Amino acid sequence: VRDGLVEVEGALDACGELRAPISGRSVAAWEVVVEQGEGLFSWRPVVLVSSSESLAVVDASGRIELAVAPEQLRVSGPSLSGRAGPFLAPPPAVLRLLRRRGCDPRGVIFCRGFRWRERVLRPGDHVRVCGVAQWTTVTPSSAVEARSEHGATGGYRGLEMNAVLRAHEGQPVQIKS
């Protein structure tokens, strides 16, 4: 991997697990979008949140760490989705997300129209990640771990350097499964 804008493909590795907020699934990363209906065919995003553990992409040549703040993470792939309307309130998990954003789900008489989708990534998922790669110096203790974990040589990570993928200026990191 060279410094600069890159696309990396491999298996997702995570240091820990989270619970997705709507489904409760055990995941490495998640993204939730909740939209409010405006008229018959128009939707306005009212919630866009994501979270992840420490992530990396691993392939035959090595490992690249993902340095991604939650607001910079965008997850693409299959989703769990649902809708609510005048006679059907959103589920409790969606209501919590709406209330945290100061959005009242009630209309004048009935519930407002909402739709939502939750996308998740699990450890081991095959992913493609777009972002900015940057080589950084590895501390001596990390170099020893790298040597024992991945051998004396190899691809993204040598003994003294570590590749990190970050968001491009003003852009999110796209993770596609």
Q: Which residues, including other chains, have CB under 8 Å from residue 14's CB and lie 6 or more apart?
A: 28, 29, 52, 53, 54, 55, 56, 123
Rounded Cα–Cα distance for residues 66 and 80 (Å): 25
Please report the DSSP string for 147-167 in residue order. HHHH-S--TT--SSEEEEEEP
Can you tell me whether residue 136 is helix, strand or coil? strand
Count of positions (residues) in the chain: 177
Rounded Cα–Cα distance for residues 51 and 147 (Å): 30
- List, for residues 4-16, the tens digit of each pLDDT value: 888 899 999 998 8
- List, for residues 120-170, the tens digit of each pLDDT value: 999 999 999 988 888 877 665 554 455 445 544 445 544 567 888 888 777
